[in-house]
Every structure is written in structure tokens, then in C-alpha cells.
A and B are shown apart, each in its own frame.
Chain A
């Protein structure tokens, strides 16, 4: 008798357990997908912005950057990036090359509150600041590796993340050679610089470009339409970060020292 009761209980438990497991693995994901679709289905009626008429890039003139960190600060304010110094859409690095040609790089808090004087000032051969951000590559390794199509390059050349679709596998963060991505601690999805897409599609400048006091950052059309960026591309020698990786970055640096990685 005891045997039979045990078996019945066992069977019931197995069936219940399997059923709930199936529900979780199948219906759970399905429900969240359905939600994602519904949220995005409502298109707001906005004045016509034609993404096919634009192709964006940014210029960064290293010989102008004063390392004030206002760009990093403005970016966090504009895009609601967590204020903790572990999540940056843009940041500033300082390079100090000493007389023995040793390179010292630092970025205290991403340069958010500026920099304090470096150690060993007397010994400096060269020193400069380098603002960094997502390079919005034309051949982005992050887009290549995303397993679900949650990150993509738009028609106007901006690499964005669909945070309602991202599964948070972090493959894109590993694949980015520039350290431009991070996992948003609240949304649990990948996050990164978007060129302030919500601003540029209204004809405004990205927040970092807006507040830069020395016009270090130049934003505009990268494809030969009259713009400050175009003039920069024409008149200056242009460098990009890690060109050997063939990511084709669209953030173009001028006066970039060879020691910058």
C-alpha cells in the first residue's frame, strides 16, 4: 500500500514539476517577447526625420582637449547613465610619457571630475588627454556577434542597442575592442554611447559636443556634406583607434599620438 501511494505522489510531483518547467522556459520568454512587440508598436507622430539622408561621424581634436571632463559629466546627465564610476558611455584618458619613454595612462573616475596633477611632473616628455567613446564603427564587431539582433547599425550610421530585446549575454561587450560598452546595472541590457540619438534626430548636438569648452569634439555628417567634420577630414591628418582590427571607426582623431590604444 505504501508503495502505491509513494508512486502516485511521485508521478504527480513529476508531472507538476515538468509542467511548470515547460511553462517557464516556453511561455515566460514568449510573454516577454510579446510585451516587447507591443511596447514598440506605438509610433509617435513626429516631424519627418529621414534617416537615409544622414550619415554621422565625430571628430576629436586631441590638441584641444583640456581634460575638464565636462563631456563625461554631460553624457551621464543627458542619458541617465548611473553616476557610479563603473559605467561610461564616454570618458577621458590622460597619457603622460616620461623622459624614459615610459607611458603612464590614467582615467580617474573616467575623468568625470577632471584630473589632479600627475605624479612626477618634472620628468614629462609629452602629455595629453584623449576623450574616448563608442566609435560607431562601419564594420562593428559588436553587431557581428550579437546572437539575437539586439544591437544594430541604423541607416544614419549610428550603432544602437534595442534594450527591450537584448538578452544580456555580454558577447558584444567582449567583442568591442575599445571598451565602449557595459551592462546597464538596472536594465540588465548592454548600453553604450548612442551619439545622443534622441538629440541628433532633432537637429541638436550630442550632449558631449554641446558642452565641450574648446571644440575638441566635432559632430557632423561624415559623407562629404558641408559640415565642420567634413572640413576637418579634408584639412587634417586623420587617425582612428586600432585600425588594424578593421572595424572602420567613424570617430576620427587628429593629432593622435602613436602611444594611444
Chain B
């Protein structure tokens, strides 16, 4: 406790102007930056998967199952930073028991469960069911039981049964697209609906959140497809990479346009908050916004992608350009979340002052915990691709032994 007070006392010297006395303690920490980043990846990965399933973009076939498992990995971890951040995590199920229908945050529990159970898990189950039955039939002992249980004991992999599975997947994906929009859009709404905060309160925030989510999701799948291909000693299929790069480029252009629109609109209307927000952008957020988010995270990858995609460079070079762009985009989108969440708390609601955020190294809401939450989805992903291999060329063969 005393350590906490000492931290706050140290922040006093970093206040410029005037803040309400209670504002010295930033309420939403880096964990709340991580949460929209993770759900954004979920939504983006799923949208990419739906491009293949619903809009029949055949080139993306190699990434379909990859995207689903990736989305599941991130979705499993997504509520963890939220739990860790609560003052009383043991009471978190109250949100499911007595949700306040007027509160966007109360909808989280239901939207999350809906998306996890009725979209993602259901889709993965139907898509993998025939394979799970096959793997069960081809194994013995515990593995046989494991896959049989995963398949809920079904054994029918006749053409009719599999056709039903495919129809189910199509329908669920169709329902899943707006569900993915809601899963991440409502996070944007949580911020966008706070009239008390002029940095957040905007109609565009849910939309910008969603488009930056799509950008980050596509970029993540591009990276995962590339890296997994390399690890498995295979060449990533160029039509797939090119298609990923195209969609990434389109999404990035849209995202950048929307963010620019928000920016121009604020400057033009020049409401009272413009003074403190301008000061915020040129001082506290200069590095994370102007440099990282805009230049390194949006404009540079945009140019690189456009150049790489539409030039006549050899395939190896194109792949490298795509990969570097995708990595820059990840950093950029994370920075976007930082600028929204932390940035919105760095200025006072009195519009007369700025404060500071000190990111601790350890502790429940420190940098190490944050890094842990960012690494965990990849660990879960590794586990998932061992249990449910998404590779086309391994569909028929049984997955290797599960021991760690």
C-alpha cells in the first residue's frame, strides 16, 4: 500500500496544468490496452477466415483453419487481462448474473460467450469433426478416446454428414461476421460512449477500432502463415501471400482514412477540448502516436505493401516486404490501442492539465504481466495446432504424439 502511495506521490511532479485530485491515479492500465488488441486480432482473424468461407476467396484456403485456431487462441486469453485488472476478480461472474442492460461492459460476458461457444468453437467443431472422427479411428488407446470425445462420440463421416458439416460451417461463418463485428465493436463502444471523455467520445471510435482490428488480424495471419510454413520447411504459397497482402492493404487504407477523418474533423470543428488534446498529442503522445502509430505503423507499411504487391520484384523479396509490413502493423495497432486507452487518461476532464502514466515492471498490472498475456496466446496456439493440425497436407494423417 505504502509503495502504491509512493508511486502516486512520484507522479505529482509530472502533472502539468491542473487535474482533478482523483485523476492522479490512472484507472485503466496496460492490461486494458492488451484486451482490445487481443479481441481485435480475434475479430480480424475471423473476418479473414470468413473471406474464404463466405466470399469464396480461394487463394486464402491455406489460412482458413489457421485463422480459426489463431482466433481461438487469442479469444481464450482475451478475458484474462480483464480478470487480472479487476479490483475483485472473484466477483467477475456478477456480470453474467446481474448484467446492467444499460452498460456496454455488461454485454461483454454475453457477447464473449456467444462468440466463443456459438461461433468459434461451434465452427471449429463442425469443420474439424470429420477429421477428428478419422483421427480417432486411426488411433488406439487414450488418443482414440480423446478424439472420439472431442467429436462427441459421432462416427458418421458419410458424404451427407460431411455435407451437413460444411453447411453448418457456412451458416455459422455468416452469423459469425456480424458477431465478430460486435465482439470488437462493443469495445469501441465502451470507449466511444463515454461522454465525459472528449478523446474517446466519438461516433467513429467503434468503427476505427473495428477496422484497425481487421488490419491487425490479417497481418497476424500473414505472419503466422509465413512463419509456420518456414518451420515446416515449406514454401508459403505466393497467391495466398499476395491475396493476404492485398486485403491487408485495402483494410489499411480504409483504416487510415477513417482515422484521418476523425483527426481532420476534430481540428476543423475545434471544440473546447482541442487545446488540451493538441497539447497531449505533441507532448505525451508524440512518440507513440505520430512516430509509432502513424509513421511506422501505418504510412510506412502502407507504402511498403503497395510497392511490394504491385511491383515486379521476385517472390522472396515480396514475402520479406509483406512480413516486415505485417510486423510494423502489429506494433502500430498495439500503439493505437495504447494511444486510445492511455492517451484518454493522460489529460484531465477539466481540460486544463496533463498527467503521467508510470508502467511498473512487476505487479499484477505491470509490464511483465502484460508481456505474459501477449505470449500466452501463442503458446495456446502451439498446443492447438498439435491437437488439431490445420495443415492441408496433414489432414489424412494422425497428429503426432501429444507429450510436451
Pick from A10, A87, A174, A179 the residue with the most CB of B within 10 Å: A174
A221 to chain B, nearest CB (A): 28
The residues of B that contact A147 with a CB separation of less than 8 Å are: 95, 99-100, 103, 105-106, 108
Distance in angstroms from B105 CB to nearest chain A CB is 4
Please choose the segment from A121-129, A184-192, A197-205, A211-219 that sits at the chain B interface, where 4 or more of its residues have CB less than 8 A away: A184-192
Give the total of B residues in contact with A, Cβ under 8 Å. Answer: 54
Q: Are B88 and A189 in contact (CB under 8 A)?
A: yes
The stretch of B126-134, B217-225, B396-404 in contact with A is B396-404
Choice from B18, B99, B349, B404 contacting A106 with Cβ under 8 Å: B18
A168 touches B403 (CB 8 A): no
Are B194 and A174 touching (Cβ within 8 A)?
Answer: yes
A window 136-157: CB within 8 A of B:
141, 144-150
Task: Specify which chain B residues have a CB less than 8 angstroms from the CB of A145 in the assembled complex.
Answer: 100, 102-105, 193-194
In the assembled complex, the Cα of A109 lies from the Cα of B9 at a distance in Å of 11
A86's partner among B8, B89, B100 (CB-CB below 8 A) is B8
Q: Which residues of B contact A32 (CB under 8 A)?
A: 88, 90-91
Cβ A28 vs Cβ B28 within 8 A = no
Q: B349 near A178 (CB under 8 angstroms)?
A: yes
Minimal Cβ-Cβ distance residue in A for B23: A179
Contact present for A107 and B18 (CB under 8 Å): yes
- Selected contact of B27 from candidates A104, A149, A173, A245, CB within 8 Å: A173
A146 pairs with B86, CB closer than 8 A: no
Residues of B within 8 A of A15 (CB): none
CB-defined contacts of A85 to chain B, threshold 8 Å: 21
Contact residues in A for B99 (Cβ distance below 8 Å):
147-148
Interface size on A, residues (CB 8 A): 62
Shortest C-beta distance, B318 to chain A (Å), equals 42
| Docked complex Cα distance between A31 and B89 (Å) | 12
B5 and A86 within 8 A (CB): yes
Q: Are A146 and B100 in contact (CB under 8 A)?
A: yes
Are B88 and A177 in contact (CB-based, < 8 A)?
no
Q: Is A57 an interface residue (CB 8 A)?
A: no
Q: How far is the CB of B110 from chain A (nearest CB, A)?
A: 11
Given contacts A107-B18, A107-B21, A168-B86, A179 and B349 within 8 Å (CB-CB): yes
Q: Which residue of B lies closest to A7 (CB)?
A: B142
Indicate which residue in A141, A180, A187, A261 contacts B352 across the interface (CB closer than 8 Å): A261
The residue on B at minimum CB distance from A30 is: B93
Asked if A33 CB lies within 8 Å of chain B CBs, one says yes
Asked whether, in the complex, the Cβ of A175 is within 8 Å of the Cβ of B87, the reply is: no
Q: A33-B94, A147-B99, A169-B86 are in contact. Are A245 and B196 (CB under 8 A)?
A: yes
- Nearest Cβ on chain B to A33's Cβ, whole angstroms: 7
User: B196's contact among A86, A149, A177, A189, by CB below 8 Å, is which?
Assistant: A177
A132 vs B22: C-alpha distance when bound (angstroms):
12
Q: Could you tell me if A3 and B1 are in contact, using CB atoms closer than 8 angstroms? A: no
A179-B95 in contact (CB<8A)? no
- Whether the Cβ atoms of B88 and A168 lie closer than 8 Å is yes
Query: Of B5, B27, B86, B348, which contacts A167 at CB under 8 A?
Result: B86
Measured between C-beta atoms, what is the minimum distance from A198 to chain B in Å?
A: 22
Q: Does A176 contact B (CB under 8 A)?
A: yes
A177's partner among B1, B190, B349 (CB-CB below 8 A) is B349
Shortest beta-carbon distance, B98 to chain A, in Å?
5
Known: A105-B350, A165-B94. A181 touches B22 (CB 8 A): yes
Complex Cα gap A261–B97 (Å): 38
User: Contacts A146-B103, A149-B100, A175-B194: A166 and B88 contacting too (C-beta < 8 A)?
Assistant: yes
Most central of B85, B95, B97, B100 by chain A CB within 10 Å: B100
**Are the CB atoms of B28 and A167 closer together than 8 Å?**
no
Chain B positions within 8 Å of A103 at CB level: 352
Residues of B within 8 Å of A29, CB to CB, are 90-94
Residues of A near B86 (CB, < 8 A) are: 167-169
Interface residues of A in 62-104 (CB under 8 A from B): 84-88, 91, 93, 103-104
Complex interface: chain A residues within 8 A of B91 (CB): 29, 32-33, 36, 148, 165-167
From 18 to 33 in chain B, residues with beta carbon under 8 angstroms from any chain A beta carbon are 18-25, 27-28
Q: Other than the known A167-B86, A174-B27, A261-B351, what 11 A-B pairs have Cβ atoms closer than 8 Å?
A: A86-B8, A107-B20, A145-B104, A146-B103, A167-B87, A169-B85, A174-B345, A176-B196, A177-B349, A187-B87, A188-B87
Q: Pick the 7 closest A-B CB pairs, nearest first.
A: A168-B87, A179-B20, A188-B87, A177-B196, A147-B106, A105-B18, A29-B93
Cβ contacts A to B, 22 pairs, < 8 Å: A6-B403, A11-B142, A29-B94, A33-B94, A36-B91, A103-B352, A146-B100, A147-B100, A148-B94, A149-B98, A165-B91, A167-B86, A167-B95, A169-B86, A177-B195, A178-B20, A179-B350, A183-B25, A185-B5, A188-B87, A189-B87, A245-B195
